[in-house]
Amino acid sequence: MRPKPAQFGKNKNPPIKFELKSTKNRNILIVSSIIAIIILIIGLFVSFAFNNFNIVLNSFVIAIFVVLIPSFLYNYIQFLKIKSCENYLPLFLGDLKEAKKSGVAFPEAVKACRGDYGKLNKHIAKLKKDISWGINIDQALKHMQRNLRRSPVISRSLSILLETYRTGGNLEDILETLIDSLLKIMDSEKYKQSVMQQHVVMMYGIFLMYIGLIIIIGNFLIPMINEMGGNENEMIGVSLMEPKSPCIDCENLICHGLCGYYNVLGGMLGFGEPDSIEIYYKSLFLTMILIQGFFTGIVAGQISSRDWMDGIKHGLIMFMIGLVTVIITNLMGIF
């Protein structure tokens, strides 16, 4: 006995679709990891050739960015696609409502929707294909809901459609109410983003002021400490104080760990000699800037869109602004 098309669609096709995005993300991680390993190997050979351990450390940092940035960009692109699908959802539901008013069945109304729905087009095309293959409309909508599960708005909307269809409710009225609710939600989100955008810009400005303040403090503090160490009491002929890094008197593992981190970071960026005052304070100030920038960006993203992906985006932007600013000012001799 030949199997029904519905069984074929139910058992064979959906799992491949559901695993597609995670497979792409995994492939990106694998490829970027291979490239990162190649960078580390090249850095190791170059380091031995020039007898410079800092080359290995720089290669390690580059390798970390090579692994993380492609995966983040892929996930952020998916995030933008989901947002685009949310924006086009009311348009699709409006066409669905008009098609249903003509008196056709719900599956036929779905197939009658032929508008331009942006990034939502491929999901609607998959929904129509599932229906054409004989898959039950319940299962087809569940497949679409699962493919768009990263969007709470779309997931809840499809759940309402499913429950209305199962219980035999008036789909036209439900669709109209759903469209009105979605438009109101989107309008309120746009208004909130326009208001909160001012706060995000303000946080960027405050962070830039923080960077400038740290650079000024470092520019005056380190030379002042060195000059104090050179002052001698002319009357008794002894030095008033000998400047030295706090790392020299380390007595516990935490101190040794932090100082080792400062020496590595300072050596990579050319802040000075190991266990020197310059490398201690410059590495400390840079670490403060990077931590402040990353978490300020996360807060800015949460304020503007309440989404972690947007927060990580702002965090990485501020992180890079702080890092690049410190590197440039150090090369110019300002920091």
Provide the residue-wise pLDDT of the chain in tens; the chain has 335 residues: 334 443 333 444 444 344 445 678 788 888 989 998 998 899 888 888 877 777 777 788 888 888 888 888 888 888 888 888 888 888 888 888 888 888 888 888 888 888 888 888 888 888 888 888 888 888 888 888 888 888 888 888 888 888 887 877 678 888 888 888 888 888 888 888 788 888 889 999 999 999 999 988 888 877 777 666 555 444 444 444 556 777 777 777 787 778 888 888 888 888 888 878 888 888 899 999 999 999 999 998 888 777 788 888 899 999 999 999 998 998 888 88
Residue 136 and residue 154: Cα distance in Å, rounded?
Answer: 20
86 contacts 183 by C-beta, under 8 angstroms: no
Rounded distance, CA 27 to CA 49, Å? 33
CB 216 within 8 A of CB 334: no
Contact 157, 182 (CB under 8 A): yes
| Residues 6 or more apart whose Cβ sits within 8 Å of residue 158 | 141, 144, 145, 148
Q: Which of 130, 102, 133, 97 has the alpha carbon at shortest distance from 115?
A: 97
Report d(CA 63, CA 80) in Å as an integer. Answer: 26
Torsion of CA 261, 267, 272, 274, to 10 degrees: 50
Specify whether the CB–CB gap between 81 and 121 falls below 8 A: no
Tokens of 139: 């299962």
What is the predicted pLDDT for the residue at 188? 83
| Ramachandran quadrant class, 241 (left: phi over 0; alpha: psi -120 to 50; beta: rest) | beta
User: In whole angstroms, what is the distance from residue 171 CA to residue 107 CA?
Assistant: 12
d(CA 266, CA 273): 8
Q: What is the radius of gyration, based on Cα positions, of the chain?
A: 29
Q: Point out which residues pair with 310 in neighbouring strands.
A: none
